[in-house]
Amino acid sequence: METIVTWIESITNIINVSLAVVILSLGLRILKSMRFSLQRGSVRLFIAAALLFAAKEVVASIERGMQAMWLHDIHEVLETGFICCLCYAMYLIVQSEKLEISNLHEQVSLDALTGLMNLRAFSKLGALRVKHARENGLPLALFMIDLDGFKQYNDTYGHEAGNAALKAVAAALRHSARENDLIARYGGEEFVLLLFTSPDAALSAAERVRRTIESECSPDGNLALYRSITASIGVARLEPSILSLTELIETADQQLYRAKHNGRNQASMANEDA
């Protein structure tokens, strides 16, 4: 009976070692296809676990023949290492999944060309900010920014040149905005900026943004540009009569039309002289 048990255990050891070799082979094969470092790390740990498992089974087989205490200790160490590798590999898989989800969320919320927030994300976050400002009596302003003569620029110099100009404007907006300001590409050559600022400072803040675009988006500062890029800005302050982000955007859009009508490359705000 003891011989049969020993024979079964030996067969089990051989099968387990074979499985470990298969896992090792598969791990080495898929390692190159892993995109994230966390994924590669988890595969390496699975490979290490397979090696430890195979070594553990070999030691267990030898231990039965020699009955040596030191082999038993080695077997225990290998088993502990095997379990640790598996546990940490599972942890890396979970972290990799979180990273993947985070990247997907980022792709959904960012404009692919400029890296700014897209309209969908802005509409969601902007509506929450308007609601927060109304409930707490905080001063809020929205800038609707439109590039002057961009269609002509695009038609004259080409689509790629137009894309380079949009990227340059996006960079200028980042430089002129504060950390908590919401900046987004509204669509085409239009951008939007939502910020907490006092009513008296809203127009001067818009002028600062306009000057930053004018100074940074020129061939002198950016070799990718064929001529200077300027922008017209419509400014809307959150008044008690404005109940939503949509209404705030509509008010800013009206002032943008006024800035265009008055000669472009300027900022306009309702009651700015009051």
Structure tokens at 220: 């002198």
Instruction: Give the amino acid at 88.
Output: Y
Task: Determine the Cα–Cα distance for residues 127 and 125; give it in Å rounded to an integer.
Answer: 5
Report the amino acid identity of residue 257.
Y
Please tell me the distance from the alpha carbon of residue 177 to that of residue 90, in angstroms, as a whole number.
Answer: 41
For 22-90, what is the HEC assignment?
Answer: HHHHHHHHHHHHCCCHHHHHHHHHHHHHHHHHHHHHHHHHHHHHHCCHHHHHHHHHHHHHHHHHHHHHH
Confirm whether 100 is a catalytic residue.
no
Q: Which of 189, 214, 239, 272 is catalytic?
A: 189
What residues act catalytically? Answer: 189
